[in-house]
């Protein structure tokens, strides 16, 4: 499959998606959203791919938001449709069943911050900047910013970012829990890949179950979430990977997981 606004590379078990409109700071227009959807489809289908890195092209931006040129001319009906479509694609990424790490290499604003939040983990370069500046344009977030930001950093901090539209630096993003790690720019991709490789050393079905338990469980009541966890725990107990992982521990040898 070919892409015009993305770079899509697969190396071993890792897929790397790079949003590739550096002259527009990788702003998300309709074409980028459509290609992202296609790339996620490839990732879902390809069983050899076990983890994903998402980043932006060029030294300046991860993604500087939805394309303001497109937003400027939208009306209420196509505005809602744009939001729903972006939300669907970001949700598809979040539910793809394989760990996704955002390697945030610069501005992650508006839709860019929302895209990073739809990834499971975020590694930021020291120069990265985060924010939800939509209110400065007289609009609000449309790709999940009011939904995922409070879940990640808490209601008060989320509302401060949403209402001021202010940008914060990588260290502040780390302090409030918006990112997992901050690294020098030249270490961003190696550290992101290392993190993902470490994760992928664990049982694949166990990873999938953790993603599902947290994603679904966060929106359930305590007892239902605990029941979901117990059900997944029971399900994993029927896997060859669980037999292998526990046997390897007891035999003091590294496990050989097969994803079965
Ligand atoms: N949509 C469309 N184009 C965008 C864009 C966006 N969200 N963000 C940046 N661009 C374009 C600029 O228009 C400019 O294009 P041009 O060279 O054809 O004029 C190019 O990317 C470079 O951006 P520029 O503003 O010149 O860079 P800068 O270093 O001066 O400022 C930012 C960087 C990120 C502070 C600034 O681009 C910005 O505020 N972008 C919008 C952020 C935003 O509000 N996002 C939420 C959208 S809902």
Catalytic residue among 4, 35, 44, 114: 114
Q: How confident is the model at residue 233, as a pLDDT?
A: 98
Residue among 105, 116, 107, 106 at smallest CA distance from 144: 116
Residue showing tokens 């929302």: 114
| CA 64 to ligand 1 center in whole angstroms | 6
Q: How far apart are CA 149 and CA 118, in angstroms?
A: 10
Task: Quick: pLDDT tens for 159-196.
Answer: 999 999 999 999 999 999 999 999 999 999 999 999 99
Does ligand 1 come within 6 angstroms of the Cβ of 64?
Answer: yes
Catalytic residue among 35, 94, 134, 229: 134
Does ligand 1 come within 6 angstroms of the Cβ of 62?
Answer: no
114 is catalytic: yes
Residue showing tokens 């409070």: 150
- Are the C-beta atoms of 29 and 10 separated by less than 8 Å? no
- Are the C-beta atoms of 33 and 142 separated by less than 8 Å? no
Q: How confident is the model at residue 204, as a pLDDT?
A: 95
Pick the residue whose CA is nearest to atom 36 on ligand 1.
64
The interaxial angle of helices 76-94 and 30-45, nearest 10 deg, is 30
Pocket residue to mutate for ligand 1, from 5, 19, 23, 24, most atoms within 8 A of Cβ: 24
Which is the closest atom of ligand 1 to the Cα of 133?
44
Task: Quick: pLDDT tens for 16-58.
Answer: 999 999 999 999 999 999 999 999 999 999 999 999 999 999 9
Task: Quick: pLDDT tens for 86-141.
Answer: 999 999 999 999 999 999 999 999 999 999 999 999 999 999 999 999 999 999 99
Beta strands in the chain (DSSP E): 6-11, 14-19, 51-56, 61-63, 100-104, 107-109, 121-125, 129-131, 168-169, 181-183
Q: How confident is the model at residue 1, as a pLDDT?
A: 78
9 is catalytic: no
| CA 103 to ligand 1 center in whole angstroms | 20
Residue among 143, 105, 113 at smallest CA distance from 130: 113
Model confidence band, residue 250 (pLDDT cutoffs 50, 70, 90): very high
Q: How confident is the model at residue 13, as a pLDDT?
A: 96
At a CB cut-off of 8 Å and minimum separation 6, what does 3 contact? 20, 35, 38, 39
């Amino acid at each position: 499959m070919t892409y015009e606004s993305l770079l899509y590379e697969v190396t071993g078990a890792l897929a790397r998606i790079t949003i590739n409109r550096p002259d527009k700071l990788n702003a998300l227009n309709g074409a980028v959203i459509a290609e992202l959807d296609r790339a996620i489809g490839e990732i879902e289908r390809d069983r050899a791919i076990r983890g994903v890195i998402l980043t932006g092209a060029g030294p300046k931006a991860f993604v500087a938001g939805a394309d303001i040129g497109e937003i400027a001319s939208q009306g209420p009906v196509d505005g809602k449709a744009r939001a729903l479509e972006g939300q669907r694609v970001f949700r598809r990424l979040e539910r793809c069943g394989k760990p996704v790490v955002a390697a945030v290499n610069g501005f992650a604003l508006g839709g860019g911050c929302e895209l990073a939040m739809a990834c499971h983990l975020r590694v930021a370069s020291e120069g990265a900047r985060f924010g939800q500046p939509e209110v400065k344009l007289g609009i609000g977030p449309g790709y999940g910013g009011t939904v995922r930001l409070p879940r990640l950093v808490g209601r008060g901090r989320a509302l401060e970012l949403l209402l001021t539209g202010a940008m914060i630096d990588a260290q502040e993003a780390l302090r409030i829990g918006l990112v997992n790690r901050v690294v020098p720019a030249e270490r961003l991709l190696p550290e992101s890949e290392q993190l993902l490789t470490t994760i992928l050393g664990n049982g694949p079905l166990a990873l999938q179950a953790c993603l599902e338990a947290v994603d679904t469980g966060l929106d359930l009541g305590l007892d239902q979430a605990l029941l979901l966890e117990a059900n997944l725990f029971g399900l994993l107990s029927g896997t060859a990977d669980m037999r292998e992982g526990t046997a390897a521990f007891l035999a003091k040898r590294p496990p050989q997981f097969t994803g079965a």
